[in-house]
Amino acid sequence: MPLTPLDVLQKQFGPARKGGYDADEVQRFLDEVREAWEASLKENFKLREELATLDAAVDALRAEQDEIRKTLVLARRMAVDLESTAHREADVLVGEARLEAERILAAAHDERRALQEELVHLKSTRLHHLAQMRALVDAHGRMLDAIEAQD
């Protein structure tokens, strides 16, 4: 059984034999030991309470650290997923842009071909009209020559 400050205080010594110690001096020393011991026990109790408080704080911080770690892992996964999604969406947009560009180029090519065909047709029509006008002018010239010859 451990010794307590109360045990020190209540300790009774038998009568001193010859050459024994001064009873008052022994009592003063025992009082000093008891007071020091009580102070040590109080400090020990206080330190145990502080340790329990700090242990609880460490446990709370560890739990918070675990939550932060889980959150960080989740954030990293989300970042990877977002990046992957962004790449896929970018690939889709680029593909759609390429298809639209090809469609625009095909439409422009078709329009150019149609315009070239129309230009050829217009040139042909112009030549045809010029030939008709020339024939008409020649016919009128012959008619004028015939009228002049009658006079």
Query: Distance (Å, rounded) from C-alpha 151 to C-alpha 149?
Result: 5
For the whole model, what pTM was predicted? 0.45
The domain ranges of the chain are: 5-150
Please state the three-class secondary structure of 129-140 as a single string: HHHHHHHHHHHH
Of 21-35, 78-92, 107-121, 124-138, which gets the smallest average pLDDT? 21-35
For the stretch 52-83, pLDDT in tens is 999 999 999 999 999 999 999 999 999 999 99
| Of 27, 25, 2, 31, residue with least CA distance to 12 | 27
Q: In the structure encoding, which two tokens stand for residue 24, read together?
A: 């008052």
